Structure 1
Amino acid sequence: MKVTAAVGALITVSGIILLVAFAIQSGLLGPLGRVILAYSLAVVLAVAAVVVHRKNPGNAGVTASGAAAVITSHITTAVLVHGLEWWPNWLGTVVVLAVMGLGFLGARAWKSVAFLMVGFVISFIAASITVWPRMSDAFDVIVLILVPSVAAAWVWHDREHRGVVSMTAVVLYLIGSIGVLGTAEPGWLAVAAFIGSGVALAVREFLDDDVTEGVEGTVGVEPAQRERSGPEQWALVMPVPGAAEQRGLRLLPLYFLAWTTAPLLSALGPGPTFAPTVALVLGLAIGVAGFGPWKARTDPRMNAVRWAGFISAAWPALHLGSMDSDGSWTRMPALILAAAFIWVHVFRPSQLGKVLVVLWTAVALATNTAALVLTMFAPSYLLEHRFRIDALDVPNVTLSALLIGVMALGLIAVLVARRDRAEMFEKGAALLGLLLTAVPVIIVLTTAGVRFSLAHVLVSIGWMIAAAWMMLAPKRHNVDANMAASLVIATVAVLKLVFYDMQAMSGLTRVSAFLLCGLLMLGMVVARSLRDRNADLSEGKEAKGAKKISDAHATVTAGRAPATADGHADAGETPDDWGRPSPS
């Protein structure tokens, strides 16, 4: 029935075109008569669709008649704008939008997704045809990018076909953006329309809680029990069969928007640096939005936005860096990207737990190293020397030091984030990060006017303080691990301080410093031993107090035991080897 209705609508539209052509050939109608005839037929088809819907809402002819009316109206408008050139572009655009709005309202009232999709696609094409000859018209640019896709996405609320409508709106929005970015004037208005329409589409998808509804369930825990217990007791959430695929399809429009907007704007936007800069800020803003308070951090939409935002910011950042052939200020986005994007994935919650920590840390270090090279040296210099490291000189010291500082803090954070369950990898990463902190600290201090040797001494002292902090940690933490790590750090700090930082000092001064460091390490060990002994004594006193209370309670209970028939107190029953009670 639906196929027949669609064929009938196509035949009807073709018949209208043939009728108008015949009237033109016969000389029966002038230009004005043709326009009036075409619009009249469109109105007749729309009225027929309304009448049929009132009598039989489920009739397939309703959608066919409504679609035929919309198509006829749009074709007539296009002829008036481009064929006869009677109307200016802006007037044709207004008529197209008005007809599109009526079609959307009719589709929503009739709950016909087919009518909505046909009207949406045809209206988008008609708006594109109306705008294209006048790409310098700012109003038409906004109409082409913004109105049809956003209106279609917001007008439809039926959950069953929500994903299809949203995905179509996103795809046509991206297609329209490809045709307009970089060609429309003024360029800033095209970029603003592109970002505004993308945000409007994303907000519609982000606020739709249906995308995650019914895709997960708590297994084996009753709701009443879940309310009484803590989150850690019912955190096992198992997916409903087919829930992952269902949720992925519902989130597909949001994925497309979050992953493509920043790279598309950077590649096609106006200006050599304007569009990439705006795209970089947009990508980072999308990533930061994933940490906002509007949804739970574990919501799949928040996770998708975080991933897509920071990763998609990579392209405009590298785009800016590659275009800067001599200076260094535009390579600062590479540093921002390393700080905001790379290390986020190291601490990303995963169902696999710690399995991917090593992998993501390696990826972070490799990517940071590439960004470090890009930050230190101009791309033209790299190409000139064919990436030969031995031929590179005059690095950008400040930016490279900051980037190494980012790497160091990321490695230390690997241990801090997992300090309760840290293993050899986390400890090694933190130790490497602590060693790397020397580079940015020394460069910052020397830039501020501190002598180079004194800056090294301050770094060594900082390492000693870190070692003391770890060694004096409370006993309830991992004693052996803290002790071993603190000794390693302290040993490295002492060796660096005595044999490198104090090279200009005389032998007696160096020996004195070495002796002082040794005494400091011994003092740390003694202080730790005293803390452990005090902790043991405190635990022993608490255990003795608890035992006395238990004995007193047992004595009171025995004194209150009932007497037997012979006048003696019943000492109770004790179980035999099989667990059965036997008289004592």
Structure 2
Amino acid sequence: MTTSEPLARLAAELDFIGRRLQVVSQELQHAQLATPPAPAPAPTAQPMQPPTQAAMPAAMQSPMQPSMPAPMQLPMQPIAAAMSAPIPGPPQQPASQPPPLSPPAGPTWPQSGLPTYVPPPPLPERLGREGAGSKVVAWIGGSVTLLGIVLLMVLAVQRGWLGPEPRVLVGGGLGLALIAGGLWVHRNPAGRSGAYALAATGIAVLYLDIAAATSLYELMPQWAGLLVALLVAGGGLLLSARWNAQFIAVWVIIGCALCDPFLTHGFTPLLVSFLVVLQIGAMPVQLVRSWPSLALVAGIPPVLASLVTTVFTLRSGDPLQTAGAALAATVVGVAIAVIVTVRNQQDMATPVILLATAPVAALVAGFALTRSEAAWLAVIVAALMLGVAVCDRWLSTPVTVTAAILGSIAVVDATMHALTGPTQAITLLGEALVLVLAADLVRHRAALLASLLTAICGLLWGLTVVTPVTLVLYRPGAEMTVSTALTGLLMTLVAIAIPLVAYRMDVIGPPTRNAGPWIVAGLVMLYGATGAVLATALLVSPDRSGFLFGHTVITVSWTVAAIALLLRGIRSAALRAVGLVLVGASVVKLILFDLAALDGLARVIAFLVAGLLLLLAGTRYARLVVHGGVITDESRDVTNQVPD
């Protein structure tokens, strides 16, 4: 026996096993196709009978054998005998008979319901495509050229080369030559990538040349330099829109934003102004082409530059110029956000980012101004943002909500800068009350959100400064003012108005269905009313007798309000629920607070009056329920007619 005979036997066995596995795989596939996906009524047609074991061909019977002989038990045969073994093929069926393993008639299922995933080519392959290397080299060359122009301008000033006018003329001539070269190369479709790089480099060189002429050489006033820069930026970006080449516009703005600080003596208001000019130049492009990336790269640099400029202005600089440049960045950023939203309602992220960052520049710049100047600046920002918030008919919901949040922050900022002391909390609560009434009048949820945020700030400031939590406790010698009573009254009104308006606008449900907001509003209302009554009583009598009288009035007033709500709640489950909660609060106050804090006649009056009122109210309530009226279960939309 030679060495090749065992290898031949092993090859024959592996071939035999492979054929058996192939046959088993075919049977499993046919069985899977024959299995229905779900139980269904029996078809009217005669189902096809499965083939019997005897009728199946030998090739299909061989996989059904109970065992396979061991490889070492086969007799030794030559290679030709092993390789000449018959290979079972597909069963031969007569032309008149269907295949025995064909699936029954019925719906056929596709073998693959999902498209085949084609992975992207690797980076070396993409870079190896025709023209890819030339694009990379062209844009890298443009970036290096732009940086070299900036370094040349700075070095020419330091070394005194030529004069200011020749430097500007050389830079302008180079920029025009690059743009002309880009226009010439663009005529040939094969050189479009090089044309884009040439034109973008020329536009950036012209823009930076004007910035250098305005800031470094002072050859023209700032307003004239900004105007010429606007014309250059607008024309260059419109060229990118005409060629439908977004990368030109993005590259020009990024390159100019990175190189501008070298030509404007660092972070100054003039730098912010030149970056705002780029923003304005991008606005017509946004009207023609909806390019979110262009809006972002044009809107973020002015805000960042304004923040850094404000930090430097706190030490030295002109605060008014810094604030003016920051306000311009805010206004233009908001305008671009609105344009992006109107142009593309599907893009939610870009306008929200622009709208959330644009007001930050002006609000932070207020720290470099006096209190009155910062207040007026915040008022302008608040009016701008709230104006955007009420335009929910044309703008998307995320944009209006973001504008409402930023508008309320600006309102709070203006109030905190304009006023001091307790009047800050009073004014914030008053502004929240006005905003919620305006929201109810014009039916704008954004205004309701702004009123809620302003009310939260006013409430927190009031609890900290004006009406502290310890007001309900007697503190000998504590000073009470009219502002304390007024703050408590405004807390009560705001806590009543906001949930009611939200309920009328279908923002929240009734107390029986959505109890959380009503409970929070009820707690604020009770505290505000308690503070207002107690502060008034202490203003009349600033000793312990005023404190006792005030808490007696509070307990009785809570009980009266609970009874009124219960009587009105015969036909409203929401009022009935609030009334029952207020009854529980009155009883808890009687037992936990009045019993320990009050003494003498005040304690007796509080318990007697509250108990009698609750007794009479319970009797009257039972009679009303029995003798008539309609009890509505608003949580389940069920109305029960009570028989007379």
TM-score (norm 2): 0.55
Corresponding position: 1:303 with 2:395? no
Superposition pairs of residues 375-390 of structure 1, within 5 angstroms: 375=466
**Aligned partners of 1:297, 1:528: CA distance in 2, in Å?**
53
Structure-1 residue corresponding to 2:306 = 177
Superposition pairs of residues 119-518 of structure 1, within 5 angstroms: 119-124=252-257, 131-132=264-265, 140=270, 143-144=273-274, 146-157=276-287, 161-162=291-292, 164-181=293-310, 182=313, 187-188=319-320, 190-209=322-341, 213-214=345-346, 247-248=348-349, 251-258=352-359, 260-261=360-361, 263-267=363-367, 269-271=368-370, 273-274=371-372, 276-278=374-376, 281=379, 285=383, 288-289=386-387, 292-295=390-393, 299-310=397-408, 329=423, 368-369=459-460, 372-375=463-466, 397-405=481-489, 408=492, 417=503, 418-422=509-513, 429=520, 432-436=523-527, 437-443=529-535, 452=546, 459=554, 462-478=557-573, 481=577, 484-485=580-581, 487-488=583-584, 514=608, 518=612
Q: CA deviation at 1:65?
A: 1.5
- The 1:488/1:54 distance shift into structure 2, 3 A limit, reads same
- The 1:367/1:116 distance shift into structure 2, 3 A limit, reads same
Q: CA deviation at 1:174?
A: 0.8
Structure-1 residue corresponding to 2:234 = 101
Quick one: which amino acid aligns to residue 349 of structure 2?
G
**Aligned partners of 1:524, 1:166: CA distance in 2, in Å?**
66
**Aligned partners of 1:339, 1:462: CA distance in 2, in Å?**
23
Structure 2 counterpart SS, 1:40? helix
- Say whether the 8 Å CA contact 1:415–1:427 is kept in structure 2: yes
- Residue by residue, what CA displacement relative to the aligned partner does 1:260-314 show, whole Å, maximum 9, x if unpaired? 34652344x323x246534654675567457524438981112222334435766
Corresponding position: 1:48 with 2:181? yes
Structure 1 counterpart SS, 2:282? helix
- The 1:179/1:249 distance shift into structure 2, 3 A limit, reads closer
- The 1:32/1:112 distance shift into structure 2, 3 A limit, reads same
Query: In percent, how many aligned pairs have the same letter?
Result: 17
Structure-1 residue corresponding to 2:200 = 67
**Aligned partners of 1:333, 1:150: CA distance in 2, in Å?**
37
**Aligned partners of 2:409, 2:424: CA distance in 1, in Å?**
18
- The 1:38/1:144 distance shift into structure 2, 3 A limit, reads closer
**Aligned partners of 1:515, 1:44: CA distance in 2, in Å?**
95
Q: CA deviation at 1:59?
A: 0.7
- Say whether the 8 Å CA contact 1:9–1:68 is kept in structure 2: yes
**Aligned partners of 2:475, 2:550: CA distance in 1, in Å?**
29
- Say whether the 8 Å CA contact 2:561–2:579 is kept in structure 1: no
- The 1:173/1:154 distance shift into structure 2, 3 A limit, reads farther
Q: CA deviation at 1:522?
A: 1.3
Quick one: which amino acid aligns to residue 398 of structure 2?
P
- Say whether the 8 Å CA contact 2:171–2:206 is kept in structure 1: yes
Structure-2 residue corresponding to 1:530 = 624
- The 1:30/1:337 distance shift into structure 2, 3 A limit, reads closer
Measured on the aligned residues, the alpha-carbon RMSD in Å equals 5.7
- Say whether the 8 Å CA contact 1:266–1:316 is kept in structure 2: no
Structure 1, unmatched stretches of 5+, are 215-245, 343-347, 350-360, 378-388, 545-584
- Residue by residue, what CA displacement relative to the aligned partner does 1:360-416 show, whole Å, maximum 9, x if unpaired? x9xx98994565224569xxxxxxxxxxx9999856744455555565556657875
Bigger Cα displacement from structure 2, 37-46 vs 418-427: 418-427
- The 1:170/1:534 distance shift into structure 2, 3 A limit, reads same
Bigger Cα displacement from structure 2, 248-257 vs 292-301: 292-301
- The 1:499/1:524 distance shift into structure 2, 3 A limit, reads farther
Quick one: which amino acid aligns to residue 439 of structure 1?
G
- Say whether the 8 Å CA contact 1:498–1:514 is kept in structure 2: no
**Aligned partners of 2:530, 2:168: CA distance in 1, in Å?**
79
- Say whether the 8 Å CA contact 2:295–2:350 is kept in structure 1: no
Q: Which has the larger radius of gyration?
A: 2
Q: How many residues align?
A: 468
Structure-2 residue corresponding to 1:353 = none
- The 1:250/1:483 distance shift into structure 2, 3 A limit, reads closer
Structure 2, unmatched stretches of 5+, are 1-133, 437-443, 446-451, 504-508, 633-638
TM-score (norm 1): 0.60
Structure 1 counterpart SS, 2:568? coil
**Aligned partners of 2:388, 2:560: CA distance in 1, in Å?**
36
Corresponding position: 1:4 with 2:99? no
**Aligned partners of 2:322, 2:150: CA distance in 1, in Å?**
35
- The 1:279/1:401 distance shift into structure 2, 3 A limit, reads farther
Bigger Cα displacement from structure 2, 332-341 vs 186-195: 332-341
**Aligned partners of 2:217, 2:361: CA distance in 1, in Å?**
38
- Residue by residue, what CA displacement relative to the aligned partner does 1:195-232 show, whole Å, maximum 9, x if unpaired? 24312321331343368734xxxxxxxxxxxxxxxxxx
- Residue by residue, what CA displacement relative to the aligned partner does 1:125-181 show, whole Å, maximum 9, x if unpaired? 676566548969xxx57833642223324532466632x112112211112312544
**Aligned partners of 1:4, 1:275: CA distance in 2, in Å?**
51
Structure 2 counterpart SS, 1:373? helix
**Aligned partners of 1:165, 1:150: CA distance in 2, in Å?**
12
Structure 1 counterpart SS, 2:629? helix
